[in-house]
Amino acid sequence: QVLLVESGGGVVQPGMSLRLSCEGSGFSFSNFGMQWVRQAPGKGLEWVAVISSDGRHKYYRDSVKGRFTISRDNNKNTLYLQMDSLRPEDAAVYYCAKDHDNSGYYWFDSWGQGTLVIVSS
């Protein structure tokens, strides 16, 4: 079955950087678009970024543009989110999710368990 395992979360000070990883298994990773979605404590789901199956197309929500970078290594079945210039409002559980399609333009049919990012001085 599909398994997505995130890692890399932790406590960082404002302005610092963090890189999240998401390793996929149980499916052909290189054939699917992948997403990052976050959820601040007690809040709803917020889409963050998407990457197409081949890594050529990437899109971000406005509030993270220029600070976050989504990437993937299909040889390692791993998705990444490089988060720079972190702000307190970036604190959340970050989920990776598998898209239904290679484009990343569809629904999210599998999710990881999430990794917690805390931004605090």
Closest CA to 82 of 6, 23, 21, 32: 21
Which 69-108 residues touch another protein, going by CB under 8 A? 95, 100, 103-108
Q: Is 47 in the site for another protein (CB under 8 A)?
A: yes
Q: How many amino acids of this chain bind another protein (CB under 8 A)?
A: 24
Q: Is the dihedral of CA 102, 96, 20, 1 positive or negative?
A: negative
Kindly provide the residue ranges of all beta strands, DSSP E only, lying in the chain, ordered along the sequence: 3-7, 10-12, 18-25, 34-39, 45-51, 58-60, 68-73, 78-83, 92-99, 108-111, 115-119
Q: Residues 17-46: x/- map of binding to another protein (CB under 8 A)?
A: ------------------x-x------xxx
Nearest distance, CB of residue 58 and another protein, angstroms? 9
Answer for which of 7, 31, 113, 120 binds another protein (CB under 8 A) is 113
Answer for which of 8, 57, 77, 116 binds another protein (CB under 8 A) is 57
